[in-house]
Amino acid sequence: MAAIIPKNLLVEVQKLPPKEAIEVFESKGLQVTETAEETAKAVEKKLFAVTRSVNMAVLQDIRDELKKSLADGQTYATFKKNIENTLAKKGWAAERTVTLKNGKVKKVITTPWRLKTIYRTNMQSALNAGRFERQVSNASDRPYLELVETLDSKTRRTHRAQSGSIQPITSQFWKSPTSWYPPNGFNCRGRTVALTRAEAKSRGIKIKRPGLLPDPGFGMNPATDFFQPEKKDFDPDIWAAGEKMLVAKLK
């Protein structure tokens, strides 16, 4: 008899690193197949690729600002101010005001929030890619998928409108470049549920809002498409260093 997976388990493990996610499944008495292990390795590989891309992007921004500083003959103080503004403007870091012990107010650059968002989104994408592949392999028994969004005050209007859509797993609804397979935006909390033909028929096979698109920059099925940096956007030596870092991480 197959083990019953709690409804929220798959949602919860999406928040964990691959190895910890597997440990959760094992602790629940569920068998971790070879496919799941391969998925975990794929997740790690993609996350290393994302880390490389982010590091390269930050380095390129700093170098571009330094080139500008040298060309314009700027002082270090001006360069420092400009690079902090550049990093904050592009979302690599955020500026906030703090009050020191002596009562003076100072502006400081805080933890780069964009890196956290990119990490969370790509972790979710990688885990969902593995889930989609498992759903495809089980399509003979459960050939339909339902989009299920967490519905509360934080849910985006478009995500709420599309929640409950049910389509065959082969439908264009789940395919790039207009795929509604989660994540459908940064910090998206959506998921999919595989359904039998009878379940899909009873709930109503439909697209809630035909023509409605996911958030800008999304719409790619995580199992078939993943974020990749463009070589043209980086200086040759930065690109080479990024590739070297990626190879070292995956050894």
Structure tokens at 14: 């999406």
211 in any annotated domain: yes
Q: Pick from 155, 154, 165, 167: which is nearest to 212 by CA? A: 165
**Secondary structure (3-state) at 147:** strand
148 in any annotated domain: yes
Q: Looking at the 3D structure of the chain, how many domains does it have?
A: 1
146: enclosing H helix or E strand = strand 144-148
Distance in angstroms (rounded) separating the CA atoms of residues 30 and 28: 6
Burial class (CB in 10 A: 0-12, 13-18, 19+), 150: middle
Contact at 8 Å (CB) between 230 and 56?
no
Distance in angstroms (rounded) separating the CA atoms of residues 5 and 10: 8
- In angstroms, the Cα distances linking 74 to 67, 68, 89, 108, 109 are 10, 8, 20, 21, 21
Q: Pick from 129, 235, 116: which is nearest to 192 by CA? A: 129
Distance in angstroms (rounded) separating the CA atoms of residues 54 and 128: 21
100 in any annotated domain: no
231 in any annotated domain: no
Residue that the structure tokens 């995956």 belong to: 250
Q: What is the pLDDT of residue 240?
A: 81
Structure tokens at 28: 């629940």
| DSSP annotation of 172 | G
246 in any annotated domain: no
Greatest pairwise CA separation for the chain in angstroms = 73
78 in any annotated domain: no
Give me the helix-helix angle, 18-27 and 34-72, nearest 10°.
160
Q: Pick from 186, 194, 197: which is nearest to 147 by CA? A: 194
| DSSP annotation of 107 | E
Q: What is the pLDDT of residue 223?
A: 78
175 in any annotated domain: yes
Q: Which domain holds residue 201?
A: 140-222
pTM of the model: 0.56
227 in any annotated domain: no
Structure tokens at 93: 């870091």
Per-residue pLDDT of the chain (251 residues; tens, 9 = 90+): 344 445 455 555 555 555 666 566 556 555 555 555 655 565 555 555 656 666 677 778 878 877 887 778 877 778 777 877 777 777 666 666 777 778 888 766 555 555 566 656 766 777 787 788 889 989 999 999 999 999 999 999 999 999 999 999 999 999 988 999 998 988 888 999 999 999 999 999 999 999 999 988 788 887 776 556 678 888 888 788 777 766 665 55
How many other CB atoms are there within 10 angstroms of residue 21's CB atom? 24
Distance in angstroms (rounded) separating the CA atoms of residues 40 and 140: 24
DSSP notation for 175-206: STTS--SSP-STT---EEEEE-HHHHHHH--B
